[in-house]
């Protein structure tokens, strides 16, 4: 009786000691959380006050901003799928995925310019876009598979920072290889065919044709990917490899081939994302892939890395954050020229997500073992 | 018999590489520099060097357990020649294609001058034959190499690396040696070594290497195994410091400028080495601390600083900058403390970009000047010498050297201290480190803060040297280049960082500054990317690895080596029977 009491006493004291121990890091993290919430609330109130006072953007402008944020976000989501899939299977961040995305846009630009030159771009817009889409997808897939074969395959089982550093190297190599091949200047796609320029009414809301097309293509690609991953044999193999490479190998799955497939599918999705980029922004340069790449990674983390619907959701949310956040929150705080801070908002979103909920919105909480 | 399939595969690889090098305009640019007058230009060196290496690997084949290639001379040469032929055919077809289809609009470098640069300026029919002949000869030489005896191969390697280094160092040599006629004796008027000086160097290298064979290797092992406090080690360090004092006096303005850039990069490399190499935290936003140092110094000292302008002297501003850097280190370090390695990398990258965007934004323009930057930053006041800034590079270089020495001393002492050991433990296994009573929170924050302080030194010096700060000096490329320096030198190794910075920044050029070879300007980041990948694949511990780090990276190999040794002995026994 007596010893047990003693034991329980000690555990109680340690528990209470732990409860009341002041911890600088935790308090700082709490400070960040509270400060973030206060900033957002104050900013929102300011913006609402402005809106009531009749200053700032009008309702139509807010709506347009919302639509373009969602379409940009859908594009991020497609690129994020590649990060998420590779992370799920190999457990490292493929830093070069942004360059995979860029390669599709760049080669697609050659195709689009040629189509435009022969008059097909305007005469047969949807056929031309399909051609550009296929070419962008093939390019991105090839680059993704090639990088896996050359750079990542020999590193299976290396400490986890090694493939990450390798992928940084691959990323810069690809960037400057493309700069050497295509020149460093900014290249422009021909302006989108006439039909896409018009507004199309959806449920009484006029939406710009390009943006509608972007959203539709993103949804179609997502459905195709979902079907591929859940219903086909290769998709099942991919999920098995993500779960446990060794056991999957013992079950007769060709692990190397499955990993290549993962890179290929991620690359193809980046290719689709590339077409959407071309539709939305029309410009391409060798560094085009860098920022969208990091943002797409942010989207993948936001949704829960390794989770495919999460990547798409994260993409759309990130698009909304960076598209609307500056005007919605920062403008209310009285900060000038908020649109310059778009990228900073996206990166702050990444930091805040990792501080608030490191597992992402749809991700499972990772055990300490997996987090190490 | 030669393996045709293998030769064709390697030949195609060589052809693709050669066409690629031509397509990005590298051969054309590099051919502007002559290395050996009149037979070798730098572009050709890269073009045929690639082919040589590929032919070598094609002929060598897979290594057996003894790691001894077993190739017949005839077979090797034939394989290599076949590789060269296939490569030449591929490249020629590629050139013919470019000649017939005009693609300059999409690929600006694929023009007539690219064809000329690959065909020895002889144009399509004749030049292609020359290309084929050269490729077959180079391929055959590459194929012959693995069949030669080890000693011959070593001599070939030594001679070619010495000749090429002396040819590449022409700028340095002609800067140090005042006597013009002496230089004309070695180098030809249009640049490049003279043929007879190549012959002299070759003979000297062969004779000297025979005479002193093995002594250098024995000496390095002796140094490596000696006690860190031994007289030998101290002697070497004293010699290095002496060289650092004497060298700037010998060099001219341009080379001192280069030396300053290199030492600033060494300084940042030493700082990042603490964070990445010692503590194992991959920080991709390291440039943010550099920016804190530079902008802090600019605001505190420049009379043109927009809002806050106390116009302090450099030395008075330095402690303030250090306090700012400490805060920045804590600010970045605290939120990322609970994150695992790869998230940490991306988040620090995000921090780096946020800093740059904020510096550039209208919001902070009243303080930091936005895209206008802050100009008229005074130099460093040194007693007896007056103000030392970028206009007096031969004096400024001593300042940077002094700070490099301080940073090297700090990291050396930290490495061997209790903190250094807890960093090492944390790097190897965080959970175990925590379990044996190391406060990982404290250790991580200390690493971030130390790294931030060292980078802010570099930033403060940079501001004083350039005399102005602009946001484009602080983009992500800087972080990546410093990372490459640390990784190439060897993570966790102080001499590694110094050597890495001299080789990479000195020759290829820094993130924003040209190196010794100006031709690399456009292509240095391509090289940095490729170097990073190759190092990670082949030698993750770096060129001058720290002993502890390379043991960590090769834990599995050690078990394997023991097994291989046994196998090798068995094989040797069998061969003798």
pLDDT in tens, B423-472: 999 988 888 999 999 988 899 999 999 999 999 999 999 999 999 999 98
Better pLDDT: A198 or A294 = A294
Check CB contact under 8 Å for A372 and B340: yes
Looking at per-residue pLDDT, the higher value among B86 and B148 belongs to B86
pLDDT at B178 over 80: no
User: Long-range contacts for A222-227 (Cβ within 8 Å, ≥24 apart)?
Assistant: A222/A77, A222/A78, A222/A81, A222/A312, A225/A81, A225/A265, A225/A269, A225/A308, A226/A308, A226/A309
Q: How far off is chain B from A308, nearest CA to CA, in Å?
A: 19
Pairing of strands A283-284, B386-388: unpaired
- Nearest CB to A168 within list B339, B430, B532: B532
**C-alpha to C-alpha distance for A313 and A309, rounded to whole angstroms:** 6
Q: Tell me the nearest-neighbour CA distance from A211 into chain B, angstroms.
A: 28
> Is A93 in Cβ contact with B346 (below 8 Å)?
yes
Q: Is the pLDDT of residue A288 over 90?
A: yes
The pLDDT-based confidence of A198 (bands split at 50, 70, 90) is confident
Q: How far apart are CA B167 and CA A303, in angstroms?
A: 55
Q: Average pLDDT for residues A52-72, to the nearest whole number? A: 87
Q: Which stretches within A91-160 are classed as H helix? A: 97-117, 120-123, 125-147
Q: Which helix (H) or strand (E) holds B382?
A: strand B380-382
Residue B95: pLDDT above 60?
Answer: yes
| Higher-confidence position of B547 and B568 | B547
More confident site: A355 or B362: B362
Q: A340's torsion region: left (phi>0), alpha (psi -120 to 50) or beta?
A: alpha
- Pick from A32, A163, A172: which is nearest to B525 by CB? A172
Average the pLDDT over B67-72 and give the result. Answer: 67
Best mutation site among A169, A329, A346, A366 for testing chain B: the one with the most B CBs within 10 Å?
A169
Looking at per-residue pLDDT, the higher value among A22 and A142 belongs to A142
Name the residue among B105, B340, B351 with its Cβ closest to that of A371. Answer: B340
For testing the chain A interface, which of B22, B102, B342 should be mutated: the one with the most A CBs within 10 Å? B342
The answer, yes or no, to whether residue B64 has pLDDT greater than 90, is: no
B498-527 mean pLDDT: 87
Burial (CB count within 10 angstroms: exposed 0-12, middle 13-18, buried 19+), residue A75: buried
CB contact under 8 A, B108 and A355: no
How far is Cα A128 from Cα B34, in angstroms, rounded to an integer?
A: 48
- Would you state the pLDDT for residue B93? 95
pLDDT(B560) > 60: no
The predicted model gives B343-371 an average pLDDT of: 90
Helix, strand or coil for residue B380? strand
Assess B521–A contact: CB distance below 8 Å, yes or no: no
- Chain A residues in contact with B361 by the CB 8 A cut-off are 337, 340-341, 344
pLDDT at residue B561, as a whole number:
57
pLDDT of res. A236: 92
Assess contact for A183 and A284: CB atoms under 8 A.
Answer: no
Average model confidence (pLDDT) for chain B? 87
Interface of A with B in 172-201 (CB under 8 A): 172-177, 179-183
State how far the alpha carbon of B65 is from the alpha carbons of A71, B294, B567, in Å: 57, 54, 7
For residues B497-521, give the mean pLDDT.
86
Which B residues 355-414 touch A at CB under 8 Å? 357-358, 360-363
Q: Measure the CA–CA gap between B434 and B436, rounded to whole angstroms.
A: 6
- Give the per-residue pLDDT at A370: 44
* Confidence band, pLDDT 50/70/90 cuts, at residue B572: low
Query: What pLDDT does residue B124 have?
Result: 82
Across all residues in chain A, what is the average pLDDT? 86
Integer Cα distance of A70 and A76 in angstroms: 10
In whole angstroms, give the CA distance from residue A363 to residue A370: 13
Contact criterion met (CB < 8 Å) for B361 and A341 = yes
Prior bond to B525 cis, omega within 30?
no
Partner residue facing B526 (CB), from A24, A180, A294: A180
Q: Which of B125, B41, B46, B132 is nearest to B89 (CA)?
A: B132
| Between A145 and B246, residue with greater pLDDT | A145
Residue-level pLDDT at B153: 87
Phi, psi dihedrals of residue B106, rounded to the nearest 5°: -95, -40
pLDDT for res B297: 94
With a cut of 80, say whether residue A6 has pLDDT above it: no
Dihedral (CA of B116, B121, B124, B129) sign: negative
Q: Is the pLDDT of residue A59 over 80?
A: yes
Which chain B residues in 435-454 lie under 8 Å from chain A, judged by CB atoms? 441
CB contact under 8 A, B363 and A335: yes
Is pLDDT at B513 greater than 90 in this prediction? no
Overall average pLDDT of the B84-98 stretch: 95
Give residue B2's pLDDT: 72
Instruction: Determine, for residues A180 and B530 on separate chains, whether the beta-carbon distance falls below 8 Å.
Output: no
State the smallest CA–CA distance between residue B349 and chain A in angstroms.
9
Residues of A in contact with B108 (CB under 8 A): 182-183
The pLDDT value recorded for residue B564 is 58
- Helix or strand (DSSP H, E) at B136: helix B124-144
pLDDT at B20 over 80: yes
pLDDT value of position B557: 57
Segment B485-504 mean pLDDT: 91
- Three-class SS state of B386: strand
Confidence of residue B191 (pLDDT cuts 50, 70, 90): confident
Q: Is B206:B159 a contact under the CB 8 Å cutoff?
A: yes
Weakest-pLDDT range from A181-195, A250-264, A288-302, B80-94:
A181-195
Exposed (0-12), middle (13-18) or buried (19+): which is B367, by Cβ within 10 Å?
A: middle
The helix/strand/coil state of A207 is strand
Shortest CA gap A343–chain B (Å): 8
Which range of A137-151, A231-245, B195-209, B533-547 scores highest in mean pLDDT? It is A137-151
DSSP-based helix, strand, coil % in chain B, nearest 5: 75, 5, 25
The SS3 assignment for B308 reads coil
Nearest CA in chain B to A177: B526
Distance CA A356, CA A32 (A): 9
Q: What is the tens place of the pLDDT at every residue in A232-249?
A: 999 999 989 988 888 999
- Rounded CA gap, B369 and B418, in Å? 43
Q: Measure B335 CA to nearest chain A CA, in Å.
A: 6
* HSE (side-chain half, CA atoms, 13 Å) at A93: 28
SS3 A208: strand
pLDDT, residue A138, reads 97
Percent of chain A exceeding pLDDT 90 equals: 52
**Would you call B576 exposed, middle or buried from its count of C-beta atoms within 10 A (0-12, 13-18, 19+)?**
exposed
> Smallest CA–CA separation between A133 and chain B, in Å?
19
HSE at residue B329, side-chain half, CA atoms within 13 A, is 27
* Dihedral (CA of B31, B35, B40, B45) sign: negative
pLDDT of residue A218: 92
The predicted pLDDT at position A1 comes to 37
More confident residue, A265 or A8: A265
Give the pLDDT of residue B553.
Answer: 66
A312-324 residue pLDDT tens: 999 999 999 999 9
Question: Environment class of residue B49 by beta-carbon count within 10 Å: exposed (0-12), middle (13-18) or buried (19+)?
Answer: middle
Is B528 touching A (CB cutoff 8 A)? yes
pLDDT category of residue A11 using cuts at 50, 70 and 90: very low
Query: What is the C-alpha to C-alpha distance for residues A139 and B454, in angstroms, rounded to an integer?
Result: 43
Alpha-carbon gap, residue B476 to B289, rounded angstroms: 12
Two tokens, residue A30: 């709490």
B223 vs A254: CA distance, rounded Å: 49
CB contact under 8 Å between A344 and B282, yes or no, is no
Share of chain B above pLDDT 70, in %: 93
Looking at the predicted structure, is the pLDDT value of residue A10 above 50?
no
Q: Distance (Å, rounded) from C-alpha B504 to C-alpha A38?
A: 47
Chain A closest CA to B501's CA: distance in Å?
A: 17
At residue A223 the predicted structure's pLDDT band, cuts being 50, 70 and 90, is: very high
So what's the pLDDT on residue A12?
Answer: 45
Residue B209: is it exposed, middle or buried by C-beta count within 10 angstroms (0-12/13-18/19+)?
middle
Choose the mutation target among A161, A291, A314 for the interface with B, i.e. most B CBs under 10 Å: A161
List Cβ neighbours of A103 (8 Å cut-off, separation of 6 or more).
A139, A140, A143, A174, A178, A274, A289
pLDDT of residue A189: 93
Please determine, for residue B112, whether its predicted confidence score (pLDDT) is greater than 80.
yes
Q: Give the bridge partners for A201, in sequence order.
A: A206
Q: How confident is the model at residue B571 (pLDDT cuts 50, 70, 90)?
A: low
Please give the average per-residue pLDDT across B152-175, as a whole number.
Answer: 87
Contact criterion met (CB < 8 Å) for B354 and A347: yes
Residues of chain A positioned with their CB less than 8 A from the CB of B26: 180
**Which pair of structure tokens corresponds to residue B309?**
């302008």
pLDDT tens digits for B214-271?
777 788 777 777 776 778 888 888 888 888 888 888 887 788 889 999 999 999 999 9
Q: Which of A113, A155, A347 sits opposite B353 (nearest CB)?
A: A347
User: Which residues 1-30 of chain B have a CB within 8 Å of chain A?
Assistant: 20, 23-26
Beta carbons within 8 Å of B478's beta carbon, 6+ residues apart: B268, B286, B287, B290, B511, B512
Quick: pLDDT tens for B374-389. Answer: 998 998 888 888 888 8
pLDDT at A16 over 80: no
Residue with tokens 């690493």: B447
Q: Is the pLDDT of residue B499 over 50?
A: yes
Does residue B114 sit at the A interface (CB-CB below 8 Å)? no
Mutating which of A171, A344, A355, A356 best tests the B interface, going by the most B Cβ atoms within 10 A? A344
Pairing type for strands A283-284 and A187-188 reads antiparallel
The C-alpha torsion from A283 through A289 and A290 to A296, rounded to 10°, is 110
**Pick from B358, B360, B362: CB nearest A336:** B362
Residues 308-347 of A with CB under 8 A from B: 335-337, 340-341, 343-344, 347
């Amino acid at each position: 009786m007596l010893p047990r009491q003693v034991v329980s006493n000690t555990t109680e004291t340690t528990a209470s000691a732990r409860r009341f121990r002041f911890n600088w890091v935790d308090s700082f993290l709490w400070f960040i959380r509270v400060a973030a919430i206060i900033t957002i609330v104050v900013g929102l109130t300011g913006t609402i006050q402005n809106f009531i006072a009749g200053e700032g953007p009008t309702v139509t402008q807010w709506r347009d901003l919302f639509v373009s944020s969602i379409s940009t976000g859908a594009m991020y989501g497609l690129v994020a799928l590649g990060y998420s899939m590779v992370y799920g299977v190999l457990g490292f961040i493929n830093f070069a995925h942004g360059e995979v995305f860029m390669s599709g846009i760049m080669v697609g630009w050659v195709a689009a310019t040629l189509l435009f030159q022969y008059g097909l771009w305007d005469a047969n817009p949807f056929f031309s876009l399909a051609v550009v889409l296929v070419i962008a997808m093939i390019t991105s897939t090839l680059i993704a598979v090639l990088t896996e074969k050359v750079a990542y395959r020999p590193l299976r089982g290396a400490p986890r920072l090694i493939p990450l550093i390798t992928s940084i190297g691959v990323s810069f190599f690809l960037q400057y290889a493309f700069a050497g091949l295509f020149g460093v200047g900014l290249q422009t796609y021909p302006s989108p065919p006439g039909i896409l320029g018009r507004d199309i009414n959806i449920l009484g809301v006029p939406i710009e044709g390009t943006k509608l097309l972007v959203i539709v293509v993103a949804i179609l690609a997502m459905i195709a990917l979902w079907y591929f991953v859940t219903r086909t044999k290769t998709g099942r193999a991919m999920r098995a490899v993500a779960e446990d490479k060794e056991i999957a190998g013992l079950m007769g799955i060709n692990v190397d081939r499955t990993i290549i497939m993962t890179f290929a599918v991620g690359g193809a999705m980046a290719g689709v994302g590339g077409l959407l980029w071309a539709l939305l922004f029309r410009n391409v340069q060798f560094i085009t892939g860098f920022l969208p790449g990091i943002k797409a990674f942010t989207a993948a983390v936001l949704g829960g890395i390794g989770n495919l619907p999460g990547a798409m959701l994260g993409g759309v949310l990130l698009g909304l954050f960076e598209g609307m956040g500056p005007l919605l929150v920062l403008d209310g705080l009285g900060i000038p020229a908020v649109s310059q801070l778009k990228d900073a908002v996206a990166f702050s979103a990444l930091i805040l997500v990792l501080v608030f909920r490191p597992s992402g919105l749809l991700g499972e909480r990772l055990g300490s073992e997996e987090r190490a | 018999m030669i393996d045709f399939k293998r030769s064709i595969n390697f030949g195609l690889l060589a052809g693709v590489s050669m066409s690629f090098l031509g397509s990005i305009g590298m051969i054309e640019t590099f051919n502007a520099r002559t290395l050996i007058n009149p037979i070798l230009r730098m572009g050709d060196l890269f073009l045929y060097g690639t082919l040589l290496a590929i032919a070598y690997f094609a002929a060598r084949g897979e290594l057996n357990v003894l790691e001894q290639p077993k190739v017949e001379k005839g077979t090797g040469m034939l394989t290599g020649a076949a590789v060269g032929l296939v490569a030449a055919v591929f490249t020629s077809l590629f050139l013919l294609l470019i000649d017939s289809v005009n693609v300059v609009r999409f690929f600006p470098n694929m023009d007539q001058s690219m064809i000329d640069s690959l065909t020895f300026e002889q144009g399509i029919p004749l030049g292609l034959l020359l290309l084929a002949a050269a490729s077959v000869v180079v391929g055959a030489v590459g194929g012959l190499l693995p069949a030669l005896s080890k000693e011959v191969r070593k001599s070939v390697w030594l001679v070619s690396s010495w000749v090429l280094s002396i040819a590449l160092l022409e700028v340095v040599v002609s800067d140090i040696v005042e006597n013009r006629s002496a230089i004309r004796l070695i180098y030809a008027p249009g640049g490049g070594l003279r043929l007879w000086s190549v012959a002299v160097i070759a003979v000297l290298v062969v004779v000297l290497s025979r005479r002193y064979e093995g002594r250098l290797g024995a000496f390095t092992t002796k140094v490596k195994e000696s006690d860190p406090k031994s007289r030998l080690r101290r002697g070497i360090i004293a010699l290095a410091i002496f060289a650092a004092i004497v060298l700037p006096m010998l060099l001219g303005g341009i080379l001192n400028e280069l030396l300053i850039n290199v030492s600033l990069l060494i300084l940042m490399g030493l700082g990042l080495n603490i964070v990445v190499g010692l503590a194992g935290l991959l920080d991709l936003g390291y440039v943010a601390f550099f920016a804190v140092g530079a902008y802090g110094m600019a605001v505190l000292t420049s009379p043109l600083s927009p809002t806050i302008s106390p116009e302090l002297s450099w030395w008075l501003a330095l402690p303030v900058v250090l306090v700012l850097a400490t805060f920045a280190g804590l600010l970045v370090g605290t939120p990322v403390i609970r994150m695992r390695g790869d998230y940490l990398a991306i988040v620090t990258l995000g921090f780096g970009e946020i800093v740059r965007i904020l510096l550039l934004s209208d919001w902070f323009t009243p303080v930091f000047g936005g895209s206008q930057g802050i100009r008229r930053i005074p130099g460093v006041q040194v007693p007896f010498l007056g103000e030392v800034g970028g206009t007096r590079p031969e004096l400024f270089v001593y300042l940077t050297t002094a700070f490099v020495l301080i940073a090297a001393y700090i990291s050396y002492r930290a490495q061997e201290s209790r903190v250094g050991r807890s960093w090492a433990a944390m790097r190897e296994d965080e959970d175990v480190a925590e379990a044996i009573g190391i406060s990982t929170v404290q250790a991580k924050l200390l690493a971030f803060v130390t790294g931030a302080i060292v980078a802010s030194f570099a930033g403060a010096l940079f501001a004083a040297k350039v005399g102005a700060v602009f946001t484009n000096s602080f983009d992500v490329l800087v972080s990546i280049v410093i990372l490459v320096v640390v990784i190439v030198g060897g993570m966790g190794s102080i001499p590694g960082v110094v050597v890495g910075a001299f080789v990479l920044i000195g020759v290829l050029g820094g993130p924003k500054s040209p190196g010794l070879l100006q031709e690399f300007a456009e292509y240095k980041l391509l090289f940095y990317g490729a170097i990073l990948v190759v190092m990670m694949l082949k030698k993750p511990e770096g060129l001058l690895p720290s002993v502890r780090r390379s043991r960590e990276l090769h834990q599995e190999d050690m078990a394997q080596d023991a097994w291989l040794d046994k196998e090798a002995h068995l094989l040797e026994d069998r061969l003798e029977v």
